[in-house]
Structures are given as structure tokens and as C-alpha cells.
A and B are shown apart, each in its own frame.
Chain A
Amino acid sequence: SQELEQSPQSLIVQEGKNLTINCTSSKTLYGLYWYKQKYGEGLIFLMMLQKGGEEKSHEKITAKLDEKKQQSSLHITASQPSHAGIYLCGADKAGGSYIPTFGRGTSLIVHP
């Protein structure tokens, strides 16, 4: 199955700061999802990236897919307390093997 490694594991930032979360795959990426999870709650779909070089934005959150590096990055500009939560990357195709997998998540705390 596909392994997705996220870094950093946790992040504490001051409100207003920019931050980046990375997701690296052990296998070729054919598509990647980003989700946000409030602590103890369900996952909320943020965006999906399907093509190398593709970049998508959702409010102040931007994600980009680098297929060559088998990596995606999620960037938050001018962070707010409402951005706090756990960010998970997920992928559902890896060289023909269809097992939806997720990274371990990055825990984000934003101090006002």
C-alpha cells in the first residue's frame, strides 16, 4: 500500500504567520487529497490535486502537487485560530493498487 509521510507532525504558530505542511509519498502519486479534522471530529474535504504542477486554493489555504518529487505541500497564509486542527493528506491510487491511505496528520495550533 502507499505510504504517505507528513511533516511536520505538529506546528504551533502565532496568528498572522504563514506556514507550510508537506506530504511525501513512497510511491507515484496519481492524485492527492487534503482534509482538515477538528479534534475528535470527522474529516472535512479541502481540495484534490490530480495533475503534476496543479495548484488549488480554498480561502487562504493553497495546495500544490509535485508529481516528480511525489510530494504535495499545503500552505496557509496569514493563519487564524480557525485554521487550527489536524491536516491530513490522502491518496487512493498507487500503481494500480486501490487502497485509500492517509498520512498520520499534522496538528496545527494557532495562538491569537
Chain B
Amino acid sequence: EAQVTQNPRYLITVTGKKLTVTCSQNMNHEYMSWYRQDPGLGLRQIYYSMNVEVTDKGDVPEGYKVSRKEKRNFPLILESPSPNQTSLYFCASRPTGAGNTIYFGEGSWLTVV
């Protein structure tokens, strides 16, 4: 089954404690991306990757890092989480090419206290 898998799905952590949200897709997609969803703001792109070893900032990259060492994996790293990073995070992937359907994971609820 074609899917984007994120882990963990739910996490409560403390300010400053580094954490990683993993993302894996089994569709051999070149393009992967991370979004955060906040009430009234919709989905905002954090980082994206066009292919292995190619990453770039989205609209709200501050406080986040990513890496793309393998085609299928695109982890999101919060080096020093702060409460304003409490949000619902989505990983997504699609084939390269404008207008192709983008597939989302099921989301990761992150709370930073």
C-alpha cells in the first residue's frame, strides 16, 4: 500500500530537548516536504527536498533542520524545541513535476512544554 509514515504520532516534550520526527515513503517519490498546521493558518511549509542530498527552506524554517540521505526518508529535527513549535506536523511526498498529487502522512502531534 502506498503510504507516507510518520513517527511518533504523538509526543509531549520539554523545552530544549532535541527531538526527531521520522518520515518514510514507499512510493519512490523524489519530492518530500514538511508542513505544520496551526488553527487559522492552514498548512505552512517548513522544508522541502527535491531529491537525495537536496533540501531547501520553506516558509517557516526557523528552529527546524532536515536531512535527505536516502530517497525514502526525510526526518524533521528540532534541535532545541520551544513552546511555539507546539503544532501538528505533516510529512508529504510526490513525484517530481508540477501539479502531481501530493500524499500526506497522518500527522504528528507535538507539544513542547
The reply to whether chain A is a binding partner of chain B is no
Residues of B within 8 A of A (CB): none
